[in-house]
């Protein structure tokens, strides 16, 4: 199923970014070509080298570095599917309002490919009215949402907001590739 598929994995700035290294590795091991795009905040949590090591491909984060078609357009056209994991409340708000202030949000605004968001955030942020409104807009715009799980959160709280586990994300992506 994953052979000959190109997956763009977007990483945003949350502690759950460490799980995305495992997700990138599992996608690669399954036979997909995985392009990784990181936001500046994501690079505060996980280094691009971690993703390059497991995907054997370059990691993109600079919207101004390209010697061909604008990078965000090339990256928007190339994949079969785009997954943003983790997807922070900040990135969800940007997408809901059409803001493109980094390479990842520019790619997402430009793409016509299916986009899957795996949110990860504190319970209070997940249940906040603005987040609920943004989720409704994103669903209406055609984004696929993998609901966060419940458990211990990095902030010390317990509740809903944990990014789905890499294995669960893989299972959720399969129907979108057939």
Going by C-alpha positions, the residue among 6, 5, 172 that lies closest to residue 85 is 172
Residue 97 DSSP symbol: T
The secondary structure element, H or E, covering residue 9 is strand 6-11
SS3 assignment, position 138: helix
Please, is 74 exposed, middle or buried when counting C-beta atoms within 10 Å of its C-beta (0-12, 13-18, 19+)?
middle
87 in active site: no
The residue from 30, 52, 73, 155 that is catalytic is 155
Token pair of 23 as six digits? 């997700």
Gap between the Cα atoms of 84 and 98, Å rounded: 16
Beta strands in the chain (DSSP E): 6-11, 33-38, 59-60, 81-87, 115-119, 144-145, 149-152, 158-162
Would you name the residues annotated as active-site residues?
Answer: 155
């Amino acid at each position: 199923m994953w052979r000959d598929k190109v997956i763009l994995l977007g990483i945003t700035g949350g502690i759950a970014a460490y799980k995305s290294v495992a997700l990138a590795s599992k996608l690669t091991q399954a036979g997909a070509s995985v392009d990784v795009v990181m936001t500046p905040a994501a690079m505060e949590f996980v280094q691009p080298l971690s993703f390059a090591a497991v995907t054997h491909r370059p990691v993109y984060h600079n919207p101004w570095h390209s010697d061909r078609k604008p990078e965000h357009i090339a990256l928007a056209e190339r994949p079969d599917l785009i997954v943003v994991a983790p997807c922070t409340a900040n990135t969800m708000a940007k997408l809901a309002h059409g803001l493109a202030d980094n390479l990842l949000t520019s790619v997402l605004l430009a793409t016509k490919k299916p986009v899957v968001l795996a949110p990860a955030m504190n319970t209070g942020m997940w249940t906040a009215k603005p987040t609920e409104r943004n989720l409704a807009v994103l669903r209406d715009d055609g984004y696929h949402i993998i609901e966060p799980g419940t458990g211990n959160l990095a902030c010390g709280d317990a509740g809903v907001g944990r990014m789905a586990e890499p294995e669960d994300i893989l299972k959720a992506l399969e129907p979108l590739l057939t």
